[in-house]
Amino acid sequence: MKIIILGAGKIGRIIAESLIDENNDITVIDVNEEKLHQLQDKLDLRVINGFASYPKVLREARAEETDVLIAVTGSDEVNMIACQVAHSFFKIPNKIARVRSQEYTAEVNLFSKTGIPVDYFIYPEKLIIDSVRRLIQYPGALQIVNFYNRIASSITITVQKKSPLLCLSVFDVQKRFDHLKCKVISIFRENYPIFPKESTIIQENDEICFVVKTENIRFLMNELQVLEKPYKKIMIVGGGKIGSGLAKILENIYDVKIIEKDPIRASQLSAILDNTTVLYGYASDKELLFKENISQIDAFITLTENDEVNIMYAMLAKKMGAKRTIVLIHHGSYLDLRYDMIDNIIFPKQTILSNLLGYIRKIRSNISYLRRGTLETFEIKLNRKSKHSGIVGKRVVEIDLDEGIMIGAIIRNNDVIVSLSEQKIKLYDILVIFTTNKKHISEINRTFK
C-alpha cells in the first residue's frame, strides 16, 4: 500500500514506524529538514522537504498513485487543506487528518459529503485523556479497553502475593468467575504474552488480561481484590493540551489540582478551568508537594513531554505518600523497566495506533493494543456486505486459526458470550479477536474481511 504521511513530528513518526513494519511504501513530507533526516536515518522510507498542502509537493510524492494520505502536521488548517487538495487534484481514496480544535470538529456539516473531504479523524490528545480517565474510573486496573459501544471490555490486573488467583489453574479461575461473564484471555509473564491453557497455573506478578461484560468490571475487580477505594483527590503535572483537557473532564467530579511550570500557561489555565486549583511551580519542589498535601492525593498523573521528568516526578510523589501514580511515557525503551513507584503507564503510541490501524488495514474492525503493544485486539462485525460465508453458521471450535489467534468473546444482542467452543457464529455477531503477533494480521484479514 502506498501511503503519504504529512508531518514528521511525534505523531507522524509513530505512524511511520508502525506502518513501515507492514511492508507499506511510505513517503513523509515536512518543512523541517532535520526531522526528515532523523526519520530517514532510522527507517527505510522516502522523505520530501516541503509544505504539506502544496499541490506541487504532493505531486512530487506521487500522490496520484497513493492509497492513503495521513495529515498529522501541527496545523489543523494545513491538514484540512491537504485533504482537500488530495481529493480535488489527485483523487486519493482515503484521507486521514489530525484535527484538534473543537471550533472545527463541533461543526457537523463541515466534514459532510459536500464539505472538506476527510474520511477519518485522529484525536491523539482525546485518546490519551480517555485512557487516563478509564484508569481513574476503575482504580486498581493496569489497563482498561472498551469494545463495541462499551458492551464488553478487557481489563488487565497484576497478581499480588495475597491474590485469590495465586496458584489457581486457568480452569479454576474460569469456573470461579463464570457468573460474571468473563474469561482469561492472556497472561503477561516476564513481559511476554501467552494464551494460557486450562492447566496453566497463575503465578505471582503475572499480569492477567480478562475479557468481561463491561457492567461487571467492578464486580470482577472486587472479587479479585484489586478494586481500590474510589479516587477523590487528583493531581496533574503538565498543563498542555492533555493535562488541561483531563482537568476539564475531571474537575466537576474530583478535587483536581494541576501543576504548571510556565507562568503564562498557568495564568491561561486559571482562566479556562473553573473548578481546578492551578499551581505555578515544579513537581520536583518538595515544599510545594508537602504544602498541597501530597500524602492525601489518590492519583498523581504526570503528563509532560519529557519521559525522564515524568518518571522522576512520579517516583518523588509516591515516596512522599501519593497513593497511585500514572505516567505518560513516549519512548518504548522505558516500558520494560520495572518501577516499584509507578503504578500505570500510558503509552501514546499504542493508544494512537489502536485508533488508526483498523481503518488503514481495511479490516471491518476497531483495533486496540494491550500491554505495550504485545497483544492486539480486533472487533469485527459480521454483516451482509462482507464475505463471511465460511464463518457464519460454524461453531467457534471448527474455525481453523493459527495458534497465536484467539476469538475471545462474541457480542450478540448487547450481551457478551465467553463460553465459545460450541457456540455457532451468527450474522451480525461482533467477534472480539486477540493475537500475539503482527504476522497473524494477514490471516485475520483473509478470514474475516
Segment 216-249, tens digit of pLDDT? 999 999 999 898 899 999 999 999 999 999 999 9
pLDDT confidence of residue 220: 95
**pLDDT tier at 336 (50, 70, 90 boundaries)?**
low
pLDDT confidence of residue 363: 47
Provide mean pLDDT across the span 420-432: 88
pLDDT confidence of residue 117: 93
399: Cβ contacts below 8 Å, ≥ 6 apart? 391, 407, 425, 447
CATH topology of domain 127-223: Alpha-Beta Plaits (3.30.70)
Highest mean pLDDT among 174-183, 232-241, 367-376: 232-241
Q: CATH for 374-448, among 3.30.70.1450, 3.50.50.60, 3.40.50.150, 3.90.1150.10? A: 3.30.70.1450
Under a CB-based contact definition with an 8 Å cutoff, are residues 269 and 260 in contact? yes
Percent of the chain with pLDDT over 70: 94
pLDDT surpassing 80 at residue 157: yes
What is the Cα 316 distance to its own chain's centre? 27
Provide mean pLDDT across the span 307-326: 96
pLDDT surpassing 90 at residue 339: no
Sheet holding 152-158, edge to edge: 143-147, 152-158, 207-213, 182-189, 192-194
Q: What is the pLDDT of residues 4-52, one digit of tens each?
A: 999 999 889 988 988 887 778 999 999 999 999 999 999 999 999 999 9
Q: What is the pLDDT of residues 80-93, one digit of tens each?
A: 999 999 999 999 99
Domain edges within the chain: 2-122, 127-223, 233-349, 374-448
Under a CB-based contact definition with an 8 Å cutoff, are residues 136 and 324 in contact? no
Q: Are strands 207-213 and 152-158 parallel, antiparallel or unpaired?
A: antiparallel
pLDDT confidence of residue 444: 77
3-state DSSP assignment of residue 76: helix
Greater confidence (193 vs 245) lies with: 245
Under a CB-based contact definition with an 8 Å cutoff, are residues 126 and 169 in contact? no
Highest mean pLDDT among 57-71, 128-142, 365-379, 381-395: 57-71
Same fold, 2-122 and 127-223: no
Tell me how far apart the alpha carbons of residues 242 and 128 are, in angstroms, rounded to a whole number: 7
pLDDT confidence of residue 180: 92
Provide mean pLDDT across the span 366-385: 71
CATH topology of domain 2-122: Rossmann fold (3.40.50)
pLDDT confidence of residue 436: 82
Q: CATH for 233-349, among 3.40.1710.10, 3.40.980.10, 3.40.50.720, 3.40.50.150? A: 3.40.50.720
Provide mean pLDDT across the span 417-437: 88
Provide mean pLDDT across the span 45-67: 96
Q: What is the DSSP letter of 99?
A: -
**pLDDT tier at 422 (50, 70, 90 boundaries)?**
confident
Tell me how far apart the alpha carbons of residues 343 and 244 are, in angstroms, rounded to a whole number: 22
Provide mean pLDDT across the span 363-390: 66
pLDDT surpassing 90 at residue 101: no
